[in-house]
């Protein structure tokens, strides 16, 4: 269990899942794992999308940033990951780009302190 605003936490999960689906390759995979550690709940959302280039990894959580403006078929304004970042920060957690294994796997990790740890 974590302590937090249910609507904001729902938005966090939906944004991450939406991005994993939207930026996936055709017939690709999306994985969502939730694990419990001693002092945290850890959510990992990954996909088999095109990956995130090293040149832009540091910027993916910035407002209005779009990693690839040349993708005309994607909707949005570059606010999803920035909003996720703010939600996680407000809940005392950490959001990171945990893995971008080239073109085969990209994964974001959310760590939120458990209610017992507070």
The pLDDT assigned to 79 comes to 73
70: pLDDT strictly greater than 50: no
61: pLDDT strictly greater than 50: yes
Helices (H), the chain: 6-22, 80-90
The pLDDT assigned to 27 comes to 92
Q: What is the pTM of this model?
A: 0.85
Confidence at 80, pLDDT banded by 50, 70, 90: confident
d(CA 68, CA 3): 35
Contacts within 8 Å (CB) and 24+ apart, 23-26: 23/47, 23/49, 23/50, 23/74, 23/106, 24/48, 24/49, 25/49, 25/50
SS3 sequence of 2-31? ECCCHHHHHHHHHHHHHHHHHCCCCCCCEE
């Amino acid at each position: 269990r974590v302590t937090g605003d249910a609507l904001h936490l729902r938005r966090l999960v939906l944004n991450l899942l939406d991005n994993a689906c939207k930026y996936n390759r055709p017939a690709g995979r999306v994985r969502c794992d939730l694990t419990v550690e001693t002092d945290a709940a850890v959510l990992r959302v990954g996909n088999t999308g095109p990956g995130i280039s090293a040149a832009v990894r540091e910027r993916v959580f910035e407002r209005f940033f779009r990693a690839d403006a040349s993708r005309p078929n994607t909707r949005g304004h570059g606010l999803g990951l920035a909003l996720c970042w703010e939600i996680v920060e407000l809940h005392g957690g950490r959001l990171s780009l945990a893995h971008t294994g080239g073109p085969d796997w990209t994964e974001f990790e959310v760590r939120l302190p458990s209610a017992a740890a507070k």
